[in-house]
Chains A and B, each alone.
Chain A
Amino acid sequence: MTTTKDLWENTLVELELTISPPNFNTWFRDTHIVRVEDNTVYLGVPSQFARDWLSRKFHKDILRSLRGLSENVRSIEYIISRGTKKTPEEIVSTPAAPSELPLEAVHTKSNLNPRFTLSSFVVGPFNELAHAAAQAVIRKPGIAYNPLLIYGPTGLGKTHLIQAIGNHFRVHAPDRKVFYMTSEKFSMDYVSALQAGKVHSFKERYRQYDLLVMDDVQFLAGRDKIKEEFFHLFNYLYDGNKQLVFTSDQHPNFIQQLEDRIKSRLSAGMIVSITPPDHQSRLAIVRAKAAVHKVVLSDEILDYLAATVEGNVRELEGALNLLLIQFEMREGPLTLADTKNILRTAAGTAKKAVSVGEVVKIIANFYGIEETSIYEKTRRKEVVRPRQVIMFLLRDDFHLSFPAIGDKMGGRDHTTVIHSCDKIKNELLSDSILNQEISQIRLMLK
């Protein structure tokens, strides 16, 4: 036998042919079969209006159609059901017990996640500047560094830091209006305000904040109307000495399709970068995260974790979580060998296949030199550096062997390659410009 849902859908199709569209839409909307029992169909309807009218006016039609599809239907009972569609919404919207005049409405307005606080932020050499800037902003909002822009690759705690600023305000200066959003939400709000013809109230709403925190401003690029709206909002808040805090995945000057007027404004206050953490910081982060979970892992394991899981803090956290679940499942303590095993099986991260030729092309392009010059036997300075970078990336990201790299680079000896890789690796520790260049290139290679 067909399901009750199908039965009712087929019945509706038939009824639709015999009943005028306005009548059909008015009375059969939101109806459904609740259950079928002892040859009686229990029909759920949204209100008593519908119940009374259906049973009086359309009863015969409904019964005839139902019988045509399912012979043993004898009668219909109409019940006012608390519509299937409405139920999930109600569960959400029924506040269990608001402790104050649904005050949480006021707090949810800030859109901040209370989990992100300054005290849970691990500070290391890689982010201490950003942390210091955040502290300054908290002490002298709107005056110290306005706007504050924090940039860096994904998963290094940008969002954590800016939300922490917002949360600090929310707790310590409750009379100030704080709002956190992503640039995506800003765009969506603008578009829907535009469609509803409420651009004015959109402007009003955003202009009331004392502290506006916007995540991922790079996504504003290329959207002309939204950029313009952002520009005006920026000016309004900035002129009122309201604090603005932004994040981006790269320096604003590198964001394409962003007008100079916006770039220069973003650069007007303080721009700080968060770079990937060094080993000591990673160790500190792993320790702090493990402590949150109240798990004690041996130094050996933590050290291994910090050393092997490359990439950003988020991945580090993911790897740690993986260990934690294993830790909970097994009885005894984790050994280093176990750890290695767990991480190896999980780390099946596939690199996208990019040909060497492509890598060379992209990097040559990036440095603005001829692609062919890379393969030549020249030692001009402007060619040597890019060549070394290429070798370093081929080794580090694509795991080619040293001889293979030498071969591809116009028949160079593998010791030349080893030297190049070491040189770049060493310089990376001290040279922040090189660091930036490499992360830019890595983005382009993805």
Chain B
Amino acid sequence: MRFETPTEQFHNAVSIAARFAERRANLSALAGILIAAENGRILLRATNLECGVEISLPAKVTEGGVVAIPAHTLQGFISNVRGKSVSVAHVGEVVRVETDRAVASIKTLPADDFPILPRVSASTVFTIKSNDLTRVIRSVAFCAATSTIKPELQSILLFADAGKLSAVATDSFRLAEKTASLRSGGSVPHLLLPARNAVEFMRILETYQGDIDVYYNENQISAHINTIYFTSRLVDGSFPNYRQIIPASFSTEAVVLREDFSQALKSLSIFSDKFFHMSFAIEPSKKALILSSHNPDVGEQTSTIHAAISGEAVTMSFNSRYLADSLQAISGESIRILSNGMGKAILIKDAADESFLYLAMPMNR
């Protein structure tokens, strides 16, 4: 095998593929990127058997063939070389990677062991703007559980009803939901996409503007993003019926400026203890939110934020990070905070945008 291709695009492709390779795999080939050259194109493939990616690039192929190269070695080398183009040649047990100034010989991996990626038939599909899908994943992914006890909570729930795609994630202490319009495909059943894979998916989606088609069956999801093919396993399980836990009415509502709230939370974090404990009071009489945190080793702080409030006064304790997390998904100028009193979950929304909601439980003390 022998080909030549522009360094920059090869570097980009290798960087993306390397994220899917698994360094500590049982099967050594999985630590590599498979490169297949044929008919003026090269194809890079990497997978950890949870999700996988294939990237197709134009290249000057002088000799076809297939080779598997350790991903981290190749990426480490290619990201530190200069030069307009790179040429790759398979010679015996090694691959020679050559640029204007540097040459590397990298030992190859058994290409025969490298699996193919699953394909999903085109019968079930929805179409969405790449930007929108990126946004819904980013808005909820941080809420997914990190513990492996409940695989369904480690996943993002995706489903669509009447042309609206919803993404939901929860770790059982807080929950985020974000919706976006589909371009086509009216309803989609519940799909549980592992959150880690969703984040990789999102990073690929970010590179592309335009509509994408997402194919799915009960076990697998896949999409073509420009020249990149992405596929991921779906989790088999059922997501809690989260709609039931979102309260329909509230006893207190406060509207504050997002910037004020965000700044207060940031400075409070300096004084919070290791549990990020923070007390949170809505005071209708003072027309203010009063936030305070204290750490016996550092000191304490109280912030007062001007707010428009209706309803009763309430005081609660929160993990301040849970509240701060919600803001990263909100872009509007002001936010609505809705509460049903002590010990009940609060709901945070963008005041001008109904597509996002965030539910957080208070701390139990």
Q: What is the interface of chain A, defined by CB distance below 8 A to chain B?
A: 20, 22-23, 25-26, 47-53, 56-57, 80, 82, 86, 90, 93-95, 97-103, 105-106, 109, 174-177, 204, 208, 210
Enumerate chain A residues within 8 angstroms of B241, measured Cβ to Cβ: 97-98
Nearest Cβ on chain B to A61's Cβ, whole angstroms: 14
Residues of chain A within 8 A (CB-CB) of B25 are 26
In the bound complex, how far is the Cα of B69 from the Cα of A240, in angstroms?
Answer: 59
Residues of A near B238 (CB, < 8 A) are 94
**Using Cβ atoms and an 8 Å threshold, which residues of chain B touch A90?**
236-237
Residues of B within 8 A of A210 (CB): 365
- Interface presence of B26 (CB below 8 A): yes
A171 to chain B, nearest CB (A): 13
Given A93-B152, A103-B361, are A47 and B49 neighbors across the interface (CB < 8 Å)?
yes
Check if A56 sits within 8 Å of B365, measured CB to CB.
no
**Chain A proximity of B284: nearest CB distance (Å):** 22
Once the chains bind, are A175 and B364 in contact (CB under 8 Å)? yes
Which A residue sits closest to B244, measured CB to CB? A97
A101 touches B49 (CB 8 A): no
Say whether A26 contacts B27, CB under 8 Å.
yes
B345 at the interface (CB under 8 A from A): yes
Interfacial residues of chain B within 146-172, with CB under 8 A of chain A in the complex: 149-150, 152, 170, 172
- Contact assessment for A53 and B115 in the assembled complex, using a CB-CB cutoff below 8 Å: yes
* Interface flag for B174 (CB, 8 Å): yes
> With contacts A80-B219, A102-B172 known, is A48 near B118, CB below 8 A?
yes
B118 proximity list for chain A (CB < 8 A): 47-49, 51-52
Q: How many residues of B contact A (CB 8 A)?
A: 41
Contact B245 A52 (CB under 8 A): no
Given the interface pairs A101-B172, A101-B175, A105-B172, the reply to whether A177 lies near B365 with Cβ below 8 Å is yes
Which chain B residues lie closer than 8 Å to A177 at the CB level? 364-365
- Supply 22 A–B pairs (Cβ within 8 Å), ascending by A: A22-B27, A22-B28, A23-B113, A26-B25, A26-B26, A47-B49, A51-B118, A52-B115, A52-B116, A86-B236, A93-B149, A93-B237, A95-B240, A97-B240, A98-B244, A100-B245, A101-B361, A105-B172, A105-B173, A174-B343, A175-B343, A204-B274
B330 within 8 Å of A (CB atoms) = no
When each residue 97-121 of chain B gets 1 if its CB lies under 8 Å from chain A and 0 otherwise, what string results? 0000000000000000101111100
> How many angstroms between the C-alpha atoms of A119 and B209 in the bound complex?
66
For A48, A51, A90, which residue has the most chain B Cβ atoms within 10 angstroms?
A48
Q: CB of B359 within 8 A of chain A?
A: yes
Q: How far is the CA of A2 from the CA of B116 in the complex (A)?
A: 34
Chain B residues, CB < 8 A from A57: 115
Q: At the interface, yes or no: B47 with Cβ under 8 Å from chain A?
A: yes
Q: How far is the CA of A94 from the CA of B150 in the complex (A)?
A: 9
Among A20, A80, A99, find the residue whose CB has the most chain B CB atoms closer than 10 A.
A80
The answer to whether B220 has its CB under 8 Å from any CB of chain A is yes
- CB contacts under 8 Å to A, within B111-136, are 113, 115-119
| Cα A177 to Cα B365 with chains together (Å) | 7
Residues of B within 8 A of A22 (CB): 26-28, 113
Residues of B within 8 A of A101 (CB): 170, 172-175, 245, 345, 359, 361
Q: Which residue of B lies closest to A103 (CB)?
A: B361
Query: B25 → chain A, closest Cβ, in Å?
Result: 8
Quick one: CB contact mask for B73-87 with A, threshold 8 Å, 1 for yes? 000000000000000
By a CB distance below 8 angstroms, the chain B residues around A208 are 275, 365
For the complex of A and B, 4 pairs with smallest distance between CB atoms: A48-B118, A102-B172, A26-B27, A53-B115
A315, chain B: closest CB distance, angstroms:
38
Which B residues between 184 and 231 are near A, CB-CB below 8 angstroms?
219-220
Q: Mark B24-61, 1 if CB is under 8 A from A, else 0.
A: 01111010000000000000000101001000000000
State the CA gap A53–B172 with chains docked (Å): 36
15-29 of chain B: CB within 8 A of chain A: 25-28
A19 vs chain B, min Cβ distance (A):
10
- Distance in Å from the Cβ of A415 to the closest Cβ of chain B? 67
Chain A neighbourhood of B30, CB < 8 A = 26
How long is the Cα–Cα vector from A322 to B16 in the complex, in angstroms?
69
Contact partners of B2 in chain A: CB under 8 A = none
Is B178 interfacial (CB 8 A cutoff)? no
Give Cα distance in the complex from A51 to B237, angstroms: 20
Q: Is B233 an interface residue, CB under 8 A from the partner?
A: yes
A278 to B360, alpha carbons, bound, how many Å?
53
Interface residues of B in 225-269 (CB under 8 A from A): 233, 236-238, 240-241, 244-245
Complex Cα gap A100–B118 (Å) = 38
Min C-beta distance of B147 to chain A, whole Å: 11
Rounded to whole angstroms, the CA-CA distance of A204 and B237 in the bound complex is 33
Instruction: Name the contact of A106 in the complex, choosing from B116, B152, B174, B364 (C-beta under 8 A).
Output: B364
Please give the distance in Å from A16's CB to the nearest CB on chain B: 14
Chain B nearest CB, measured from A22 CB (Å): 4
Complex: A109 Cα to B115 Cα, angstroms: 44
Q: Which residues of A contact B52 (CB under 8 A)?
A: 49
Query: Given the complex of chains A and B, what is the CA–CA distance between A196 and B149 in angstroms?
Result: 17
Given A26-B26, A56-B116, does the pair A93, B236 have CB atoms closer than 8 Å?
no
Q: State A93–B240 Cα separation when bound (angstroms).
A: 10
